[in-house]
Amino acid sequence: MKLNREKVTALLALLLVVAGLKSVVIGFVTPARGIRVPDVTITRSSREVIPRKYRTFTAETEMSRNPFSFSEGWQSMETMHIPLPLLPPAPHPVPFLGAGPLPSEWGFVYQDRPPEEIKDSEEAK
């Protein structure tokens, strides 16, 4: 019998399975040893929750400034008009073949007015 990689790997896997089953069977067959649980005392701890203290504005002393207004010395500035940024051309899934001929050169008759205007002019006749 010629050994190759697959047979060697299967043999090693079988040995690992047999060794694992042997340790499981021995664990069930032999009597359990006495399990000693160590005596561990857990100290109780408590968390102290500190209440929130909100900042209040009272009229006990005269206030030097209004807390709800902007700081002194701020001035509004006139804004300058900024032109919109130039956008790149929109991408196309396929490249354009070219501009092509003008509609007058196509050889087709096309309407130069919307259909409503044509309909209104025919009713007027």
Domain parsing of the chain, residue ranges = 1-30
Q: What's the pLDDT tens digit per position in 31-68? A: 777 778 888 888 888 788 888 888 776 666 666 666 66
Report the distance separating Cα 30 and Cα 22, nearest Å. 12
Q: What spatial distance separates the first Cα and last Cα of the chain, rounded to whole Å?
A: 107
pTM above 0.85, yes or no: no
Contacts with 118 (C-beta within 8 Å, 6 or more apart), sequence order: 111
* Phi, psi torsion values for 119, nearest 5 degrees: -60, -45
Residue that the structure tokens 């919307």 belong to? 114
98 dihedral zone (left: phi>0; alpha: psi -120 to 50; beta) = left
Report the distance separating Cα 74 and Cα 121, nearest Å. 66
Report the distance separating Cα 118 and Cα 111, nearest Å. 9
Q: What's the pLDDT tens digit per position in 61-89? A: 666 666 666 666 667 777 788 888 888 87
